[in-house]
Structures are given as structure tokens and as C-alpha cells.
Amino acid sequence: MTHLYETARALVAPGKGILAADESDGTIKKRFDSIGVESTEENRRAYRDLLFTTEGAEEFISGVILYDETIRQSSADGTPFARLLESKGIVPGIKVDKGAKPLALTEGETITEGLDGLRGRLEEYRGLGARFAKWRATYSIGPGKPSEYCVWTNAHALARYAALCQEAGLVPIVEPEVLMDGRHTLEEASKATGRVLQAVYVELHDQRVDLRGTLLKPNMVLSGYEAPVRAGVREVAEATLECFYRHVPAAVPGIVFLSGGQSDEDATAHLNAMNQTGPHPWELSFSYGRALQAPALKAWGGDAANLTDAQQAYLHRAKLNGAARFGRYSEDMEREAVAA
């Protein structure tokens, strides 16, 4: 297990976080549609190549989560993406779940599928260069939601996935995401998140998962996006930390928060506020997708002539989140970017 501990710690190295570049075909199509670019295999490869070849990103990015298609692709010079990332000191990882599907006999709740054949797929991904994996479960907040049924069935699946990862020599990133859509209060978000986390760690323990070789990728505790009154940055940081101190064991090396629909600036500010109050039992880091990529995607626009501008936009966003890892981010840094 020693190599798992080392990989987990490397992924939450000080000042660094994870780029989630594991968008499914459907999700990346939506992103490309927003900039008027056709979602072809070559366009997807070129866009990921842009991100992965950004000079200096390794100062702030410790790992990259890849999609099945992406881990099989190569850079323009023929270097497989996993090998390219490794050459920069960035750990390659892989999304292995098959997506959230309707949970039988519920109204509007989901269960994540993908356990069938997972042992063989993990072995293949390890051969392709992956050193960690990710599995996402989703939960909604509302009347009677998340149900105990949804909470525990997803916790069981997350733990089964994590055990198989460790057997295969991969660090499992466990991602229970309580969705922040809706009108719920900060307190309701905290309660739902706490219930989910408690179940996840019971199941991980029961299924013999060594927490020292895992990472947690959760939501922050936020007011619902449609709530009439939304909590501020400091309130979010305090509520999130209180919830995690109650439910996440200190043996976990790091918590790599997802952005979950927050704006780029909010995701960075919330992480920064939490790190300003440390030290904490775990490293508090990031595993952002859109919140790291949005400026780069817009700057690129599908045009190779915009490569440098797009890479600079990505690098700047990564740098701001790297600063937030130390609690050193400020809004002035955002204005500096606009002025530049």
C-alpha cells in the first residue's frame, strides 16, 4: 500500500490540485456547443492537448483525470497523453464509472453504475498509465431527499469501487456529490452532506479500504443556487469545515473539492477561505473541471491560432487556485488578469 499513500500525497501536494478533464462525450459536446465548435474526436484531442502541453501548469496541477477516449489519445507529436503528463510530473488518472442512472423505485434519485467488469478495466487502465481513478455518485436535496435508500446504495457502490481500485494498485478518488441545485438553505445542505459522508465512511471501513490510500472529492456546503438568500464566502467556508470535521476521518490525506456549478471566482474564493483557517487534518485542495477550463475554452474557440491565449488563460486560473491552497488568493488577482 506504500505506493498508494505516496500517490495520494502527491495529488494533494502543497500549492497544487487536480484538473478534471474527464468530461463524457455528452458533456464535452455541450462545452463545445457553447463556443460553436463541433465535438469531433480530433477537436477533443486537440483541446486536451492544449491543456496538457501548457508550460508551467505543473507548478499548480498535480494530477489530471482522463476519460476513456482521452487516455488512449496522444499529443500532436505522438506522445501518449498519460506519458506526456508523467514527463511533467503530473499524475494521470481515469474516470471509471458509467454514469448516474435512475435508482429503481425512487422518484428522481440516482445510482451510479459501472461495477460490472470494473476489475478488468482497472487492470487495463493501469497498463495505459493511470495511477488513480474516480467514481462519482450524485444526490439531490429536496422533500425526502436524499433518501436513506439512495444514500446507502451509493455509499456501498463507492466502497466497492474503492476496494477494487486499491486491489489494482490505483488510488481511488471517492466522489459523493450532493447537488446544490434548488432553494435549500445552508443548514439543509450541511445536513444532507453530513448524512452522505457518514454512510460513505461506514461502507469504506466495512469493505476494508485503507483510507490513507484514498482521496475524497466532495461538494462544498452551499445554499441552493435558487435560494432567495445565499450564504457568503466566509459562511460557506465555516459550514463546510464544520461538516467535514464531523464526518471525515483524519486518516484521509486530502479533500479535493469539486466546483459543482460555482463560478470560477466563487470556487477559488471558497477554497481560499477554508485554507486561511488551517492547519486542518487533511490537505484542502481542488479537483475542478469547468472552473479551471472555462476561460481557456472561450479563448481557444476551436482555432489553433488562439493556442497561446488559451494556454495563458488556463495557466492563470490554475495559478489562482494554487494560491488558494495557501489562503493567499485575493480578488485583486482576478482584476489583474482582466487588466493584463
Mean pLDDT across the chain: 96
- Strands 110-112, 100-102: pairing kind: antiparallel
Please list, in sequence order, all residues whose beta carbon lies within 8 angstroms of the beta carbon of residue 124, skipping any fewer than 6 positions away: none
Whether 175 is catalytic is: yes
Could you list the beta-strand ranges (E) of the chain.
17-20, 61-66, 91-95, 100-102, 110-112, 132-139, 171-178, 215-216, 254-257, 283-288
User: Span 184-199, mean pLDDT?
Assistant: 98
User: Span 252-271, mean pLDDT?
Assistant: 96
User: Span 296-322, mean pLDDT?
Assistant: 97
User: Span 13-37, mean pLDDT?
Assistant: 96
User: Span 291-296, mean pLDDT?
Assistant: 96
CB 130 within 8 A of CB 71: yes
Domain at 135, CATH number: 3.20.20.70
User: Span 321-333, mean pLDDT?
Assistant: 95
Q: Is the pLDDT of residue 52 over 80?
A: yes
Cα-Cα end-to-end distance for the chain: 46
Taking the C-alpha atoms of residue 34 and residue 294, their distance in angstroms, rounded to an integer, is: 10
Taking the C-alpha atoms of residue 196 and residue 218, their distance in angstroms, rounded to an integer, is: 10
Instruction: Please give the tally of structural domains in the chain.
Output: 1
User: Span 199-226, mean pLDDT?
Assistant: 98
Q: Is the pLDDT of residue 340 over 60?
A: no
Cell numbers linked to 179:
447537488
Alpha-carbon separation of residue 295 from 31, 53, 61, 174, 331 (angstroms): 12, 16, 16, 27, 16
User: Span 134-154, mean pLDDT?
Assistant: 98
pLDDT tier at 335, thresholds 50, 70, 90: confident
> For residue range 192-211, what is the model confidence (pLDDT) as tens digits?
999 999 999 999 999 999 99
- One-letter amino acid at 161 equals Y
Cell numbers linked to 209:
479500504
User: Span 228-238, mean pLDDT?
Assistant: 96
User: Span 40-63, mean pLDDT?
Assistant: 98
Whether 123 is catalytic is: no
> For residue range 71-115, what is the model confidence (pLDDT) as tens digits?
999 999 999 999 999 999 999 999 999 999 999 999 999 999 999
The DSSP annotation for 248-286 comes to S-TTS-EEEE--TT--HHHHHHHHHHHHTT---SSEEEE
Catalytic residue among 23, 109, 175, 177: 175
pLDDT tier at 332, thresholds 50, 70, 90: confident
Q: What is the reported pLDDT for 338?
A: 47
User: Span 29-57, mean pLDDT?
Assistant: 97
Catalytic residue among 16, 217, 283, 319: 217
CB 65 within 8 A of CB 21: yes
Q: What is the reported pLDDT for 229?
A: 92
Q: What is the reported pLDDT for 278?
A: 82
Q: Is the pLDDT of residue 296 over 80?
A: yes
User: Span 270-285, mean pLDDT?
Assistant: 96
Q: Is the pLDDT of residue 337 over 70?
A: no
What is the SS3 assignment for 94?
strand
For residue 11, which phi and psi values (nearest 5 degrees)? -70, -20
Q: Is the pLDDT of residue 336 over 80?
A: no
Q: What is the reported pLDDT for 84?
A: 98
Please list, in sequence order, all residues whose beta carbon lies within 8 angstroms of the beta carbon of residue 318, skipping any fewer than 6 positions away: 17, 19, 57, 59, 60, 61, 292
Range(s) of the domain holding residue 165: 2-339
Taking the C-alpha atoms of residue 100 and residue 119, their distance in angstroms, rounded to an integer, is: 19
